[in-house]
Amino acid sequence: MPRTDQPAEFKNLLLATLPHHALSALRPHLKLVTLARGAVLSDADDSMRQVRFVESGVVSLVTEHLTPVVVATVGREGAVGGPTLLLGGGINFGRYEMLMSGSALALEATRFHDALRENPSFHSLCEAYSQTFFAQVLQNLACRKSHTAEQRCARWLLMCEDQIEHETFDLAQDSLAAMLGVPQVVADAVAAKLYRAGLIRLRARLVRIMDRRKLEGAACACYGTLRDHYERFQARACASGGEVDPDLPLLRC
Ligand SMILES: [Zn+2]
């Protein structure tokens, strides 16, 4: 029986791929944590002592420069700390903080290593996720140098919608500036331009995507590239068995 502080079914894609017996063995060690927007999961140069399997919300990986820049986001497809521990370093190279509030299942690093060792398919899928995660980091860095702030804003908003799985989400103004790597005044102007074009609606901190097709047209090609990566990863997860619900979309097509 699941613990009362755990969901009956996991939304996290990595956990959902575990065979039933493996998931049952892991359940007593998973701790459900609620995470408010802005909560810091792990700081740069910290040792990664836990893996957080994201159940809902979005986590951002932020560089520790004078101007914070978001280089990657993690939704329910992934696990904060998983790629770091898998590679054997165990030390963060950035700060993980909640971009949008949500929840995660925390697992001690030693138990994560046990699960990797005992379940080759889980190990293989975590490797595939790590590749997808680092592909996102590289694509985001290249995107920042190659595409306009407006294109990148459209791309980030689409990715947020994909990861939060809702067309309306709470996004602080300073978060958008960090995602774009531009001053606040520039981020505000870019968002206002998308608003005037009827692509999004802004109310307080709430962003609502009004015309997804047009927003995709306004986004740079990086969105399609990253979506392809994640769709291949999702297909691999579904093919690996476990308890994945194929009807629960991770990324929209
Ligand atoms: Zn781009």
Kindly give the distance from the C-alpha atom of residue 138 to the centroid of ligand 1, in angstroms, as a whole number.
Answer: 11
CA distance 153 to 194: 9
Amino acid 253: pLDDT: 28
For ligand 1, an ion, list residues with CB under 5 A: 143, 147, 220, 222
Structure tokens belonging to residue 251: 């990324």
Q: Is the dihedral of CA 229, 232, 235, 237 positive or negative?
A: negative
User: pLDDT digit string (tens) for 151-184?
Assistant: 999 999 999 999 888 888 888 878 888 889 899 8
Q: If DSSP codes are grouped into helix, strand and coil, which group holds residue 244?
A: coil
d(CA 61, CA 23): 27
d(CA 240, CA 18): 9
Instruction: Report the separation in Å between the CA atom of 147 and the middle of ligand 1, taken as the mean of its atom positions.
Output: 5
pLDDT at 246 over 60: no
CA of 143 to the centre of ligand 1 (A): 4
* pLDDT value for 205: 77
Q: Copy the structure tokens of residue 161.
A: 């919608």
pLDDT of 250 > 70? The answer is no
Predicted model pTM: 0.86
